[in-house]
Amino acid sequence: MVRFSTAALFSLSTLTPSCIGAFQLSSPAQLPTSRLRRHTNTAPLSAVAVDSGSSDPALVGNLPLPNNNDNEDKNRRMPMMDLKGIALSGLKGQALSVRAEDFPQAKDLRAVIPKDCFEPDTAKSLGYLSVSTMGTILCSVVGANLLSVLDPSNPLTWPLWAAYGAVTGTVAMGLWVLAHECGHGAFSKNRSLQDAVGYIIHSIMLVPYFSWQRSHAVHHQYTNHMELGETHVPDRADKEGEKSLALRQFMLDSFGKDKGMKAYGGLQSFLHLIVGWPAYLLIGATGGPDRGMTNHFYPNPLSTPTQPKKELFPGNWKEKVYQSDIGIAAVVGALIAWTVTSGLAPVMALYGGPLIVINAWLVLYTWLQHTDTDVPHFSSDNHNFVKGALHTIDRPYDKLDPWGIIDFLHHKIGTTHVAHHFDSTIPHYKAQIATDAIKAKFPEVYLYDPTPIPQAMWRVAKGCTAVEQRGDAWVWKNEGIEDLVEHCQSKLSSE
């Protein structure tokens, strides 16, 4: 399947995925990094035998989530394999330490969550929709009035319009999250209302609603799956990832370790945050290789899939893809008409800039929710639904600003994503209750990384290039440059 590779930046042919490649081990969160690296127990990882109780997702993907152990866990276990070449995140190797028997079955995980958490409240969902809608409209009105003062065709005004795009896109991301909730069936029991809301919002943002609904359910079903995962599936170091690793090493050799790593991290950040989302929709960049090259606007694979029975849009979904295209065509037509009558500059200022920011937020969330330097991926023989879902990572998005405004505007999608991956029909306003229940009952497998978001993204951009297989898991390859990858985390730990 076609992917973006940093070695072929301009061809859009192999986008270096940023998925989690580590392995399943015990979580010595309080041990210093040097001690972890010296541990050389090379016993292979045990496959996690968990009955997922589910097959391919149909319309909505309901899945279990990961659980992070906190530092008070009395039953610390040492890693079960050599950690040489693995850079540690704020999880301190926890995801590499979980034993097979630690993973609950889906029914046991569901049982700890209050039943009320699975019931959407239409009135409350509409209330949150009104908040995100009014915030976005307010920003748009301000922007429209700024046109008479700040001519967007004048390059001198571009920094101000970039700031406007950042603010408006950040506010409007809340609408994206609610449309995402519609796609999961977590907005309302009224299916018609739910699909209407989701379809309209996502179409306005150039997201094919039903197409993405299907592919995102597949992503939930096959989280951290090397062959069938959907989005942020890592390259293998012995195959397509070889060129990306070579490019990173070339930058280190050419510019020095410090500057070279910064250059590589910057390139990866640009590829993912700016190029990544449209590339995923158009060519399935970072999608599972066994599905072939995919396109969210055309239902048939663009290349021959290794597993034809696992194609992204089977059966009735093909018609739904075309139904999604109608909404996209309507919005594209409106944008063309707007551009013809008003010019490109106002369209980019009021629409294009905020949309780029929305897309960047989307990729940031999906990237960091399932990717870090010491979190593993698994092949078909060692993957199941619960195991994949419990490798999701909650992060401190509530600390992105002093007041937690961004986390509120985005409906806590990043701080409660573990619960969301356990069962995606849990409404966002009940996800914190579900999160607390999962963390309390299964602390050894609940993953929470306290690393501030900018530092976490920087670590992932530098250290998540390609994976190699160790035992039953695929882990990120960073031998010899662990300290460069962990640099931000080391500074954080010393403060």
Given a contact cutoff of 8 angstroms between Cβ atoms, the answer to whether 244 and 477 are in contact is no
Render pLDDT for 187-243 as a digit per residue (tens, 0 to 9): 999 999 999 999 999 999 999 999 999 999 999 999 999 999 999 999 999 988 899
Sign of the four-CA dihedral 368, 374, 378, 383: negative
Tokens 């696992």 sit on residue: 310
Confidence at 79, pLDDT banded by 50, 70, 90: low
Render pLDDT for 128-166 as a digit per residue (tens, 0 to 9): 999 999 999 999 999 999 999 999 999 999 999 999 999
Render pLDDT for 380-427 as a digit per residue (tens, 0 to 9): 998 989 999 999 999 999 999 999 999 999 999 999 999 999 999 999
pTM: 0.84
On the question of pLDDT at 6 being above 90, the answer is no
CA separation for the pair 300, 53 (Å, rounded): 28
Tokens 């009558």 sit on residue: 341
Averaged pLDDT, 470-489: 88
pLDDT of residue 240: 85
* Residue from 88, 74, 72 nearest 39 by CA: 88
Return mean pLDDT, the chain. Answer: 86
* Residue from 418, 409, 490 nearest 455 by CA: 490
On the question of pLDDT at 92 being above 80, the answer is yes
Q: Is 470 helix (H, G, I), strand (E, B) or coil?
A: strand
CA separation for the pair 125, 136 (Å, rounded): 17
pLDDT of residue 44: 30
- In sequence order, what are the beta bridge partners of 468? 475
Confidence at 471, pLDDT banded by 50, 70, 90: confident
Q: How many CB atoms lie within 10 A of CB 118?
A: 16
pLDDT of residue 488: 58
Render pLDDT for 449-467 as a digit per residue (tens, 0 to 9): 999 999 999 999 999 999 9
| Four-CA torsion 48, 54, 56, 62, nearest 10 degrees | -100
Averaged pLDDT, 310-336: 97
